[in-house]
Amino acid sequence: MSEPVAVTLDKPADYAEWRAAARRLLSANVAPDRVGFRLAATSGDLFGTRPGRAARQPAPVTICVPQDFPRLAKAVICHSDNARFALLYRLLWRLQGERRLLDNAADVDVYKARRMAKAVRRDSHKMKAFVRFRRTESDVGEVFVAWFEPDHHIVERTAPFFARRFAGMRWSIVTPGRSAHWNGNALTFGDGANRRDCPDGDALEEHWRVYYSSIFNPARLKIRAMKAEMPTRYWRNLPESRLIPELTRSAQSAQRAAPAGTPPSVASARRLVAAQDGMNQEIVSSPQTLGALATGLQNCTRCGLCQHATAAVPGEGPADARLLIVGEQPGDREDLSGRPFVGPAGQVLDEALSEAGIDRDAVFLTNAVKHFKHETRGKRRLHQRPNVEEIEACRWWLGLELELVAPSVVVALGATATRALTGKPAKVADARGQPFTLSPETVGVATVHPAYLLRLQDKEKARAERAQFIDDLRGALRLVSAAG
Ligand code: URA
């Protein structure tokens, strides 16, 4: 019987670290039943073996994985079950001979991995819905701090969502295992802490409670659904939680009696909560599938554009696309058909994608703003650029699409898309060629919008710009391949 191999990983949820170790093991032909994975912090380095030592010497072999393995593995690695590393290695090992293994949902390893990935995504979703910031003062000024207790190692995975959502303020999210910090420019991570180390809330907490009581609609009270969406264990960290039993009781009697009028303090609470940098995120659960998102989008009134458009245009493409492309907003044709990029700019994009060797059907195509902004001149509807408020209002939807599709690479077409993705004003000329991080698993790149190519009068310039556009798309494709 061959010697067992102990692999010690330094980080609990680092896909790159696990992948490097797994590649070395695979290159050395170490079968999964010989490998024991340990975490440095918890194992005390059980066998004194550093990552993959036994597998370091052999020459690397070519390792094949289907396209959806890395994404599955990146989610599974965040699960708190210590068996995750071995499970992933077993899958990787088996995939070398069973190319279609991941298609077999009944396979025990595949089933376990998919279940773990789902639990991680759900935990991440809960973190987005239930994090509540408290305002504190520090030597650098105002800082918002939130305490959260996730089930899995999801802080690194989920923090970019908050960086997008609350780009304009300094914040920290502290959990028992890890903490995330945003200073308005960069996201950094540190150790976890105790709840008592988090500063106490201030008056903002009271505003949350008043705000929550104002949006609580007795007519729509469904206690069971509410508990499913907001499990009781999350309640203790929510400022509004103290209100829930009382509101539930009064709502039940309000279903029989006439609903009470709006208390006078609600309007100011609403204003104050809204003024605290967009902290009035809804306490409703956000859509968890692209289908639910597309349905929810049709009821969106986050900005005024919904009043004039025919319909909102959701993103389109495979839910597991590795490349996601963001345009500005639907045009006239897209507004009428309800599908993105079907008009003249879409045609330019299609041709460029094809020349870059990218299959449009494998790409998820969406827009920064989901409603068509236009002015009517006679019978014509002329495109108008969305303004900052409209872009900001729609970032919620774009963020959800990014989260649900979880692509490896996102291409921003033009300044509006770049702004929507980075949360900052952007010039394409500056952003082009400078990939930006959207999450530990997703990189963004900026290029021009195909409509810009359509507008160029000078033929020579148009040819050169189009060639560069195609080059940018090829570069994005290379990034997808490099992401493994
Ligand atoms: N332009 C865009 O930005 N998006 C579309 O869907 C169509 C044209």
Is the minimum distance from the CB of 341 to ligand 1 under 6 angstroms? yes
Amino acid at 244: I
Q: Examine residue 268 and state whether it is found in any structural domain, yes or no.
A: no
Does any domain span residue 142?
yes
Quote the percentage of the chain above a pLDDT of 70. 77
Residue 45 has pLDDT above 60, yes or no: no
Residues written for the chain: 484
Report the distance separating Cα 424 and Cα 447, nearest Å: 16
**pLDDT per residue as tens digits for the range 319-340:** 989 999 999 999 999 999 999 9
Question: 338 with 420, same domain?
Answer: yes
Calculate the CA dihedral of residues 150, 154, 157, 162 and round it to 10 degrees.
10
Angle between helix axes 84-95 and 15-27 (nearest 10 degrees) is: 50
Contact 146, 101 (CB under 8 A): no
Average pLDDT over residues 212-231: 54
Q: At residue 54, does pLDDT exceed 50?
A: no
Are residue 317 and residue 365 in the same domain, yes or no?
yes
| Cα-to-centroid distance, 375 and ligand 1 (Å) | 16
C-alpha to C-alpha distance for 130 and 122, rounded to whole angstroms: 12
56, 67 in Cβ contact below 8 A? Answer: no
Rounded distance from Cα 378 to ligand 1 centre (Å): 22
283 belongs to a structural domain: no
Lowest-confidence region among 126-130, 359-363, 462-466: 126-130
Look-up of token digits 């082009």:
432
**Structural element, H or E, at residue 381:** strand 380-383
107, 101 contact by CB (below 8 A): yes
**pLDDT score of 263:** 37
Q: Are 166 and 144 in contact (CB under 8 A)?
A: yes
The reported pTM is 0.63
Atom of ligand 1 at shortest range from CA of 449: 3
Question: Does 337 share its domain with 417?
Answer: yes
| 134-138/35-39 β-pairing | unpaired
Calculated CA dihedral for residues 481, 39, 58, 100, nearest 10 degrees:
-50
CB contact at 8 A, 35 and 4: yes
The per-residue pLDDT of the chain, averaged, comes to 83
Task: Assess whether the C-beta atom of 331 lies below 6 angstroms from ligand 1.
Answer: yes
What pLDDT score was predicted for residue 55?
Answer: 46
Measured in Å, residue 330 CA sits from the centre of ligand 1 at 4
User: Is the CB–ligand 1 distance for residue 444 below 6 Å?
Assistant: no
Domain end, chosen from 156, 180, 197, is at 197
Determine the structural domain holding residue 116 and report its residue range: 5-125
Q: Determine the distance separating the centroid of ligand 1 and the alpha carbon of 397, expressed in angstroms.
A: 16
Query: Is 318 found in the same domain as 400?
Result: yes
**Weakest-pLDDT range from 284-288, 362-366, 367-371:** 284-288
Tokens representing residue 96 in the block? 């070398």
Instruction: Return the pLDDT at 260.
Output: 43
| Ligand 1 neighbour 450 (Cβ under 6 A) | no
Which of 84-93, 282-291, 365-374 is the least confident region?
282-291
